[in-house]
Amino acid sequence: MEYRKLGNTDLNLSVITHGAFAIGGNMWGGNEKQDSIDAIHASLDHGVTSIDTAPFYGFGLSEELIGEAIKGRDRSKIQLLNKFGLVWDGSNNGKGEFFFDAGADGKSIPVYKYASKANVIKEVEESLKRLRTDYIDLLQLHWPDATTPVDETMEALNLLIEQGKIRAAGVSNYSLDQLKEAQKTISLASNQVSYSMLNREIEKEIVPYTLANNIGIIVYSPLERGLLTGKYFKDAKLKSNDHRNGYFGQFDPEKVKALLQTIEPIATSKNATVAQLVLRWTTLQPGISIVLAGSRNAAQAIDNAKTMDITLHTDELTIIQQAIDQAR
């Protein structure tokens, strides 16, 4: 495993970080508790020291599973990356910005973006209990909240740093203008953003700005939620309550298939899977600090960790780049 310093912080994170969205179950067709815990244990046992989660993932379940999984482990050797700012339990009393309805099977669960100072502090206390820890290594605003002044949210993060409840503060899904506004109040550690072979929008403005200002980039959805593994073009099926039934519709399946078929021989030559090759390519892109990789069982977690064993040469990167360009 390789470890990288995150932005202007003293956090050294594993380049492949355990992404814990899917183990929350909601929007992913459910989960298996023991498989989820086994996946975390396997990650930690294979050099993945960093875990990324959020209260919204499983409405607290993802955090609880992580808290249970790391119990008895050396906390100083684990970095917990968490978020705040999505409220689903009505505690915002109608305040904030309506995001979407996370309900299913006729049940309504309205989710709001809400990043007031009081809510930030409240959420952190709840997360600390679920995670069974007394500090969070990196706390990130999950999504921008248009109803709360940016400086109010950032002042709350500064306060939490002063109190020792968080080691560093970052944001997620922030635009260039939002980053600049936040930087007036706080020195941001990172911006967590969506990025993949099929989605390279951040290369235009976000990457140049973060490189110039020593802000880390944390990548989520590098495999486009499993699409770039190739298994959904074969025998894998999605459950009816899996959000990816709709998510995958934004991509041209024939172009994606062609991309994967072109790069598969490179993966094979490395004794690697296509998914591992895609992840490794992502870790090598300019400005990228760490890459989140989800796993729902130990075998997937081990495969993700072994991604960093792959070496890609210039000619191979050229072939991959050409295939990506043709997939647009």
- Give the Cα-Cα-Cα angle 21, 215, 207 (nearest 5 degrees): 85
Is residue 268 situated within a structural domain? no
Model pLDDT, residue 225: 76
Is residue 28 over pLDDT 50?
no
pLDDT digits (tens, 9 = 90+) for 85-98: 999 988 898 899 99
Q: How far is CA 321 from CA 217, 262, 288, in A?
A: 21, 11, 17
- Beta-carbon contacts of 118 under 8 Å, excluding residues fewer than 6 positions away, are none
- State the pLDDT at residue 23: 76
Token couple for 144:
């921008």
CB 86 within 8 A of CB 57: no
pLDDT for residue 169: 98
Cα–Cα nearest to 262, from 238, 249, 283, 281: 281
Per-residue confidence band for 253, with pLDDT thresholds at 50, 70 and 90: confident
pLDDT of residue 244: 61
For 127-163, what is each residue's pLDDT tens digit?
999 999 999 999 999 999 999 999 999 999 999 999 9
Residue 301 contacts residue 39 (beta carbons within 8 Å): yes
Closest CA to 31 of 222, 248, 295: 295
Residue 140 belongs to a domain: yes
Q: In what order do the strands lie in the sheet with 110-113?
A: 86-87, 110-113, 97-101
**CA atoms of 59 and 36, how far apart (whole Å):** 16
Structural domains of the chain, count: 1
Q: How far is CA 92 from the centre of its chain?
A: 25
Least confident of 67-76, 176-185, 233-242, 297-306: 233-242
Q: In percent, how much of the chain has pLDDT > 90?
A: 74
The mean of the pLDDT values for the chain is: 91
Among 25-29, 186-190, 247-251, the range scoring the smallest mean pLDDT is: 25-29
- 147 occurs within a structural domain: yes
| Domain membership of residue 205 as a residue range | 3-247+275-309
The amino acid present at 253, given as its one-letter code, is: P
pLDDT of 234 > 80? The answer is no
CB atoms within 10 A of CB 8: 15
How far, CA to CA in Å, does 129 sit from each of 66, 165, 179, 317? 11, 12, 30, 44
Angle of helix 274-283 relative to helix 253-269, nearest 10 degrees, comes to 90
The dihedral formed by the CA atoms of 40, 74, 57 and 84, expressed in degrees to the nearest 10: -150
Active-site option among 57, 114, 195, 220:
57
Q: What is the pTM of this model?
A: 0.91
The tokens of 235 are what? 């025998």
Evaluate whether residue 153 is within a structural domain: yes
Average pLDDT over residues 13-41: 80
Nearest to 197, CA basis, from 109, 285, 126, 132: 285
Give domain status of residue 210, yes or no.
yes
- Whether 215 is covered by a domain: the verdict is yes
In the predicted structure, residue 306 carries a pLDDT above the cut 60:
yes
User: Cβ(93)–Cβ(87) under 8 Å?
Assistant: no
CA quadruple 30, 34, 35, 41: dihedral positive or negative?
Answer: positive
* Chain segment 181-221, per-residue pLDDT in tens: 999 999 999 999 999 999 999 999 999 999 999 999 999 99
pLDDT of residue 79: 98
135 in a domain, yes or no? yes
| Res 31 pLDDT > 80 | no
Task: Give the CATH number, domain containing residue 89.
Answer: 3.20.20.100
> Does 28 fall in a domain?
yes
Whole-number Å distance between alpha carbons of 195 and 201: 7
Q: Does residue 112 have an active-site annotation?
A: no
